[in-house]
Structures are given as structure tokens and as C-alpha cells.
Amino acid sequence: MSKAPKVTEYQERVYALLQQIPEGRITTYAAMSRALNSSPRAIGGALRNNPFAPEIPCHRCIASTGFIGGFKGDWEKVPSGQNQESKRELLKEEGVLFDENGYLIDKKVLWDEFDVQNRKTVGR
């Protein structure tokens, strides 16, 4: 029997928001931080440590500039870019596309309709 990963209350709140993002849509670190009255960096920290991926879809969060951003703790080509390519592939399978420079092609897929009252419990 495996033990459920322990997460902080803050991480739980972040992961609950991620579960609200529909497949084929994405959000930004900034949009999530506004919903939680937090900071984009704190959101990134919680996503970096998401033990429930891809079921809790941290790949659906990008930079507010439209840049694909980091994934699994790696930003862009650090160290190999392999994780960012994984993120790009996951999003491509959902119909979310980026140009050759890593920028979102269709901004209509951006989503920020978070219900902060509707919290699913994760990891407990």
C-alpha cells in the first residue's frame, strides 16, 4: 500500500485550482496567483513540486507573456529542454499549440474562471 504524498495547505489550494482548468484550455501563473491572492512565483513553486501530475494538470499553466514556461522544475532549455518538450507534447495532445519560439498561438484558449470556493481535497 503506497502512502499519499504530503502537500502543504497552499499546494492543496493551488492543485484544487488546476483541477478546474478544462482540457484544451490553459491559464497563467499570474491568473492563478490573482485567484489565490498570492504571487506567480509561489504558484510556480507549488507546480514544481506537484506529486500528482499529470492527473492534476500543472502543464496547463504558462507564463503571462504567452511563453510556454517551465515544467517539472525546468525552465526553457535547462538543463536539456526535455521537460519543456514534454509539456509542449501534453498541451499539443489537448489542442493547445505554441510557435517555434515557445509562445502560445491562440490566446482564446486562455482560461481564468476559477471558483475559489469550490475546493477539491487532494493528497489526503
CA separation for the pair 11, 65 (Å, rounded): 24
For residue 80, what are the contacts with CB-CB under 8 A and spacing of at least 6?
Answer: 74
**Which residues are annotated as catalytic?**
58
Q: Are 88 and 59 in contact (CB under 8 A)?
A: no
Q: Which residues are bridge partners to 110 per DSSP?
A: 26
